[in-house]
Amino acid sequence: MQIVLAYSGGLDTSVLLKQYIEAGHDVVAMTLNLGESDMVSGDGSQAALDAVRQKALDLGAKDAVLIDARERFVEEYAYKALAANARYQGTYPLSAALSRPLIADLLVEIAEKYGYDAVAHGCTGKGNDQVRIEVGVRARAPHLKTLAPLRERPLSRPDAIAYAQKHNVPISHTAAKPYSVDANLWGRSIEAGVLEDPWNAPPEDAYAWTVNPAEAPAAGTEIVLSFDRGVPSMNGETGAAFLFNLNKIAGANGVGRLDMIEDRVVGLKSREVYECPGSITLIDAHIALERLVLTKEELRLKAQLDQRYTELIYDGQWSSPLRDALDAFNAKIAERMTGDVRVKLIRGRAVVTGSRSPYALYSESLATYGNEDTFKHDAATGFIEIWGLPIAAGSAKAAEAAQRSTLVTS
């Protein structure tokens, strides 16, 4: 077979790559840069990514492609979730979930470019990611075969290491790490190891992007996030570079640590730890701006639609027509989502301390308790009379009924 493999360079996908090659298949390894290596190795990120590509070639891949998908991920995936204030079960901002449909799209694009007939990934049969990737591939290219070798033959860590040693697959230091980690500019997820017992507090070594809030600077940091039709920036900087910086600043203040029991698509509950300093801060700021510029009715409906949007992404339905329709709703809303939000990042919290917008519906002269008040106070009397009419009528009826039943029983 001719297979495009989603390749991270880690132990599992390296073993898979070698197994395919040993079995006589042609493999193109596809590696994405979604900003994770910037967060970890700063200036050394390109060298780290080149090393992953070289590793695939050394293992015998026909070719290895490294795709810088940072801007595409941020603009076409992460910011769509931002528009919906998406946090699964009120908590997780969907960092891993958002990258899967992009991985699916790119697997298809690379398979088409090479004329290959199959794509493969290293997801297990217990997770959400297999669903998201395979549904995504089917949506774009139903004729492609999708292979999930770790679903058919689960690979234990000791077996993977033994295989790697036997077949000269280099084992990087990350293979010894006690967690399963997935990261991109929208956040970092940490699973497994001691975290599997939900009573265990996450050890400090689970975190890589955030300081412990207790050790964060007491003074905190104040930032101003600007939105232009829903697209955020800070000091004029946008896109991946902006998100990288926001992650750094918020992470240095201990913002974005999350710890939850999560309900997976495949039915089981799992214990998930995340650190999402940038996305959490942005979503809070986005909500603050919405409250300033949207009508009460828009906010009410949007909260419900946002919830559906979030579930749809989590559940691997990115390619559904419903998402398209909800995107259209969010795009209409975004026409007025221009303005600034000031946020104080302090000891694990992102606190909105101010908002302003040319589209603000807030009116100080209506809201004020001072002398400049223009609100028509006497109009409230008639409003209450009519607004309360059905409730007053209902209460009167209930009182009559109670009266009748005491007459009957006495």
Amino acid letter, 78: A
How many angstroms separate the first and last alpha carbons of the chain?
89
Q: Given candidates 182, 284, 290, 306, which one binds ligand ARG under the rule CB under 6 A?
A: 182
Distance CA 272, CA 57 (A): 34
Specify the DSSP element, H or E, that contains 286.
helix 277-293
Q: Given candidates 12, 191, 290, 306, which one binds ligand ARG under the rule CB under 6 A?
A: 191
Is 180 one of the catalytic residues?
Answer: yes
Catalytic residue among 45, 180, 226, 357: 180
Backbone angles phi, psi at 120, to 5 degrees: -135, 150
Catalytic residue among 53, 70, 87, 100: 100
- Confirm or reject binding of residue 262 to ligand ARG (CB under 6 A): yes
List of E strands, 121-169: 145-147
Are 209 and 98 in contact, with CB atoms under 8 Å apart?
no
Alpha-carbon distance values, 117 to 1, 21, 112, 354 (Å):
7, 16, 8, 54
Q: In terms of CB distance, is 128 or 247 closer to ligand ARG?
A: 128
Q: In terms of CB distance, is 202 or 230 closer to ligand ARG?
A: 202
Q: Are strands 145-147 and 118-120 parallel, antiparallel or unpaired?
A: parallel
Is 347 one of the catalytic residues?
Answer: no
Is 100 one of the catalytic residues?
Answer: yes
Is 129 one of the catalytic residues?
Answer: yes
Q: In terms of CB distance, is 12 or 290 closer to ligand ARG?
A: 12
Q: C-beta of 132: minimal distance to ligand ARG in Å?
A: 8
Q: Given candidates 31, 128, 279, 319, which one binds ligand ARG under the rule CB under 6 A?
A: 128
Are 313 and 97 in contact, with CB atoms under 8 Å apart?
yes
Q: Given candidates 12, 36, 272, 284, which one binds ligand ARG under the rule CB under 6 A?
A: 272
Backbone angles phi, psi at 221, to 5 degrees: -135, 135
Q: C-beta of 310: minimal distance to ligand ARG in Å?
A: 11
Q: C-beta of 189: minimal distance to ligand ARG in Å?
A: 4
What is the contact surface with ligand ARG in residues (CB under 6 A)? 96-97, 128-129, 180, 182, 189, 191, 262, 272
Positions marked active-site: 12, 100, 129, 180
